[in-house]
Homo-oligomer: A and B are copies of this chain.
Amino acid sequence: MALPKVGSIGEYIRDQRQQAKISLRQLAEQAGVSNPYLSQIERGLRKPSAEILNQIAKGLRISSQALYVQAGLIEDREPPSDVISAIRADTHLTERQRQVLIDIYESFRKERPGDGQTSQNADPGPSADDEHPLPPELVAALEPYATSNGNGTANQETKEG
């Protein structure tokens, strides 16, 4: 298995949901599943069927395949090459958008040249990182979003050791 094994599909779903800043019930509504069941799925108490998974993916507006890969239901046989190639190949983006994404990606890569494993517990105050190649406005706009969500349960860290 590759590294993106986040342990559990539920964790991934919850993470995606919180990123979308929607409640559990909202996602359940959009996905067409019951809220208690979604709760159990997110906490790993239930193993949802592919149909439910597909509906959740639609509710989250994410790729069903990504969800299946996370759930271990699809062999990650399709090597996603690399991010830049994928961005370049995406016909839904404008050239300007591609360039922005690539710039941001490269700046991220420069921040941690050799880091390989998950280190999402980064310092909450990246004030020391004033060496970003990104324009200050963008960085300033990214910081409040990346540091803490002033909404709901701010504890999105993985609680399991």
Residues on A facing B (Cβ under 8 Å): 2-4, 19-21, 47, 49-51, 53-54, 61-66, 68-69, 71, 73-78, 80-97, 99-106, 108-109, 111-113, 115-120, 122, 131, 133-138, 140-142, 144-148, 156, 159-161
Contacts and interface: CB of A to CB of B under 8 A. Distances in A.
Contacts of A93: 105, 108-109, 112-113
**Identical chains bound together, number:** 2
Contacts of A91: 3-4, 80, 116-117
Contact of A144 (B20, B131, B137, B145): B137
Contact of A80 (B2, B90, B94, B96): B90
Contacts of A74: 54, 64-65, 68
A75 B57 CA distance: 11
Contacts of A21: 133
B83 A86 contact: yes
A119 B138 contact: no
A158 to B, nearest CB: 8
A75 B85 contact: no
Contacts of A71: 50
A90 B82 contact: yes
Given A80-B92, A96-B122, 14 more contacts: A2-B89, A65-B85, A66-B85, A81-B86, A83-B83, A86-B87, A93-B108, A100-B142, A103-B159, A135-B141, A135-B159, A136-B156, A137-B144, A141-B141
